[in-house]
Amino acid sequence: MNKMIIHYCGGAGINISKKIHSELANLGEGFCEVEPRYIDTSVNNIGGLPPELLWKIDSSGFSEGEIAGSGGERRTNSTEIVEDMKKYLDTHGHTDEVTSEFHVVVFSASGGTGSIVAPTIMSNLRTRNIPVLGVVIGDSGNGLSCKNTLNTIATLDHMSKTGIKKPMVIIYYNNHNAVAEGAKDREDLVNSKILSALTITSLFLSGDNEDIDTKDMINFLAPDNYNTISIAPSLYCINMHIAGEVTNNKEHINLIGRTLSCPKDHANLDLVLLQHKYGMVTSQNAIDKMDELTPIHVVLAGNCLVEEHKALKNTVAEYTAIMDGISTATLEGTGDADDSGMVF
């Protein structure tokens, strides 16, 4: 049985783990074993989870407990976080690829901690040739969140193209764009989408599907491993097409596919792809759980954040215009202010 190590980063990562992790842990035969980790600059979100699984980031320059969240500012603890994450990975022995282990990093792009922790983990793992999938939650609901989301996407893109010079693979959601009534409902909807995406990921990476071997899984998350087809360093998204229905976004460029089907299916994927493989779900437990969702086409696509990036940039410009509209003209009284600041 293969293993997914899930790094839940920052407040959103840890909150989401509370909603989805026990379900992922109880999927059973035909799915991955899952190992959770929690990383934050704050202890405030860990309540209810085993505190010994929390990696609390503290700075060596401060006394323990000095860092208590980043307050939505990505720069606040970034130096300490970047330094600490290498130690985190070394401490857990993630120095080389382990054939049966895959890493998943869950985080919000819009806060001040997860948005630094997670890209640092991802780029370090990819540098060490370890396959990793990022689950990125953007939020364009307010100025600070929108700017952070834009800059987190830019960070991942930059790391991929200029830093590690390897493709990075993510699944992306934007809380604000989820179609539900209230803000909390939108988060819940995104959480349930993450649960289904990670359930499918767990099935896909389990190693229990006929005709999809370990190398097929590794190459999907680390497509730089291919020699014959060339996938340029950039950000790539995974799209999951359920029940054989391909909902194609015409901006996306579909590249590599894996189809998971159950024995009853007559799966066929009508997309032009650089590489594609059909795999058969063989575990009876997995067939019973996934029967209504198969065939599932798991497709790696390029250009998937181009539209979102444009939208985020436009929204940030709107917020900047609001800030520029703040009048700083003096509101004069009838006399000058005295030394205490009083105007009479």
Ligand X SMILES: Nc1nc2c(ncn2[C@@H]2O[C@H](COP(=O)(O)OP(=O)(O)OP(=O)(O)O)[C@@H](O)[C@H]2O)c(=O)[nH]1
Binding site residues, ligand X, CB under 6 A: 10-12, 15-16, 41, 69-72, 108, 110-115, 137, 139, 145, 175, 187, 190-191
Q: How far apart are CA 263 and CA 184, in angstroms?
A: 39
Q: How far apart are CA 36 and CA 27, in angstroms?
A: 15
Q: Smallest distance, Å, CB 328 to ligand X?
A: 28
What are the contacts of 64-67 at 24+ separation with CB within 8 A? 67/41, 67/42
Partner that binds at residue 112, options Mg ion, ligand X, none, CB closer than 5 to 8 Å by kind? ligand X
Q: How far apart are CA 188 and CA 192, in angstroms?
A: 6
Q: How far apart are CA 291 and CA 139, in angstroms?
A: 33
| Beta carbons within 8 Å of 152's beta carbon, 6+ residues apart | 74, 109, 110, 115, 119, 136, 138
Q: How far apart are CA 315 and CA 139, in angstroms?
A: 11
Quick one: 55 or 303, whose CB is closer to ligand X? 55
Partner that binds at residue 294, options Mg ion, ligand X, none, CB closer than 5 to 8 Å by kind? none
Partner that binds at residue 84, options Mg ion, ligand X, none, CB closer than 5 to 8 Å by kind? none
Q: Which residue is nearest to Mg ion (CB)?
A: 11
Partner that binds at residue 219, options ligand X, Mg ion, none, CB closer than 5 to 8 Å by kind? none
Partner that binds at residue 16, options Mg ion, ligand X, none, CB closer than 5 to 8 Å by kind? ligand X
Quick one: 147 or 289, whose CB is closer to ligand X? 147
Quick one: 110 or 160, whose CB is closer to Mg ion? 110
Coil, helix or strand at residue 296:
strand
Query: How many other C-beta atoms lie within 10 A of the C-beta of residue 262?
Result: 19
How many Cα neighbours within 13 Å face the side chain of 237? 21
**11 touching Mg ion, by CB under 5 A:** yes
**13 touching Mg ion, by CB under 5 A:** no
Quick one: 42 or 148, whose CB is closer to Mg ion? 42
**223 touching Mg ion, by CB under 5 A:** no
Q: Smallest distance, Å, CB 52 to ligand X?
A: 20
Quick one: 39 or 290, whose CB is closer to Mg ion? 39
Q: How far apart are CA 128 and CA 133, in angstroms?
A: 14
Q: Which residue is nearest to ligand X (CB)?
A: 111
Q: By CB under 5 A, which span of 14-22, 42-50, 152-160, 280-288 interacts with Mg ion?
A: 42-50
Q: Smallest distance, Å, CB 45 to ligand X?
A: 7
Q: How far apart are CA 69 and CA 84, in angstroms?
A: 15
Q: How far apart are CA 7 and CA 9, in angstroms?
A: 6
Quick one: 140 or 206, whose CB is closer to ligand X? 140
Quick one: 19 or 128, whose CB is closer to ligand X? 19
**Which residues sit at the interface with Mg ion, rule CB under 5 A?**
11, 42, 69
